[in-house]
Amino acid sequence: MEDNPLQLLYRSIETHRKTAFGLLFLVGAGFIAVGLLVAPGWGPVWQSVGASLIASAIALGVTYILIDQLKERTDRLSSGEESRKQLQELIEDSHAQFHKFFIESLPVAVFPGSSTPSRTFRDAFVDALRGSAVDHNRFYYYKGDSANFAAFRLQKGSGHPEFESLQISMFILDPTKRDVVEEYARLYEEREPNRVPDIRGKVAELTDDIFISLVTFFDIRKSVRTNVYLHSDMPLYRCELVNNNMFLAYYIDHNTYQESLQFDNSSLAYKAYIRAVTRALIKPANRIEFWDGNGSGSQIDTEKKLMDLLKRCGCGVELDVLRARRAERFGLYEQRLQAAGICVDDLF
């Protein structure tokens, strides 16, 4: 920004301020001395000249003072304008940061809770599964309770190419953590406000579902490689990471299928969750691997190993009984999907 004439004038005076003040002082003092000592003996003409010179010196001093005051005022105005500009930039930057944080915190879709499967949720889930088909780092991570419906999905989808080379990790409830299982059971029983809660019966059903999921992962191991991690977290949410999307459902409503939120990989929720999951995946000691190929050597690839695992989890039920219960449970899921107009032979 160019300086105004007043600023240029002041800068010129400011540059030679000491010299100007020194000369002004000497001239003024000299004139005053002459005026006091000599002037009475001068003629009228020289007295007028001396008075004029003294007046000029005084005027020059007054002019300098006025310019200095005007300069200070100009500086204050310039400083105020600069402050307003900086404040405006700060406000705009704050708005931009808030907008970025707000956008990153929002889901890209919300699927309302219902008593039947949602077709819109199914479409979004399948799109997420297919969306990264060319990506070598494709994965499906689940965290929740029994993963019963997820196991049903894997069983039905095991022949689809979308599940080939898919990294699958299931974080399911540890059935040996009785207190945590009871909290999940209590949560589910609270969804039925018009009947007396049966916590013990719900605990038995929930642990059965966990055992059924483990058996299912074993039965599909030839086509779908599944890693299982047992957790003991209190009921808060169910989360499914599917490539670049996350489907999050909080255990806060009374619907069979809770309201779900979909986040993409640019969201804060996705970034935070996948970081936590990645840390959990690097702990092989906690991994239970269902696979019939060349794995870690500790994979569950025989029925004996499966039975040993089930016993460690507190299951005393025979495999045939668990498979019969699975057929009944998965048959119920199939009926619900068909009622919602979703074909079980397709991806869902």
Q: What angle do CA 160, 165, 168 make, to 5 degrees?
A: 90
Helix (H, G, I), strand (E, B), or coil: what is residue 164?
coil
Q: What is the pLDDT of residue 178?
A: 95
Q: What is the pLDDT of residue 281?
A: 86
Closest CA relative to residue 321, chosen from 333, 335, 309, 307: 307
From 41-50, 52-61, 171-180, 303-312, the region with the lowest mean pLDDT? 41-50
Q: Say if residue 167's pLDDT is above 50.
A: yes
Q: What is the pLDDT of residue 34?
A: 53
Q: Which has the higher per-residue pLDDT, 43 or 138?
A: 138
In 10 A of CB 54, how many CB atoms? 18
Distances (CA, A) of 329 to 107, 182, 186, 212, 335: 32, 21, 20, 9, 10
pLDDT band at 192 (very low <50, low <70, confident <90, very high): confident
Q: Which has the higher per-residue pLDDT, 124 or 72?
A: 124
pLDDT band at 133 (very low <50, low <70, confident <90, very high): very low
Q: Say if residue 85's pLDDT is above 80.
A: no
Report residue 35 CA to chain centroid gap: 84
pLDDT tens by residue, 37-75:
555 555 555 555 555 655 565 666 656 666 666 666 666
The side-by-side arrangement of strands in the sheet containing 245-250 is: 109-111, 260-264, 245-250, 237-242, 139-143, 167-173, 226-231, 287-290
- What is the average pLDDT value for the chain, to the nearest integer? 82
Q: What is the pLDDT of residue 282?
A: 81
Q: Do residues 203 and 181 touch, judged by C-beta distance below 8 A?
A: yes
Q: What is the pLDDT of residue 25?
A: 54
From 70-84, 125-139, 315-329, 331-345, the region with the lowest mean pLDDT? 70-84
From 27-41, 80-94, 286-300, the region with the lowest mean pLDDT? 27-41
Domain assignments of the chain as residue spans, ordered by start: 5-103, 108-339
**Residue 334: which H helix or E strand, with range?**
helix 319-339
What whole-number percentage of the chain has pLDDT above 90? Answer: 51
Which residue type sits at 75? Answer: D
Q: What is the pLDDT of residue 324?
A: 98
From 24-33, 88-97, 135-144, 203-212, the region with the lowest mean pLDDT? 24-33
d(CA 143, CA 236): 11
Which CATH architecture describes the domain 108-339? Answer: 2-Layer Sandwich (3.30)
Q: Say if residue 168's pLDDT is above 50.
A: yes
Which residue type sits at 72? Answer: E
Q: What is the pLDDT of residue 329?
A: 96
pLDDT tens by residue, 214-267:
999 999 999 999 999 999 999 989 999 999 999 999 988 778 888 999 999 999
In 10 A of CB 178, how many CB atoms? 12
Q: Say if residue 278's pLDDT is above 70.
A: yes
Q: What is the pLDDT of residue 252?
A: 83
In this structure, the dihedral spanned by the alpha carbons of residues 271, 272, 275 and 276, taken in order and rounded to 10 degrees, is: -150
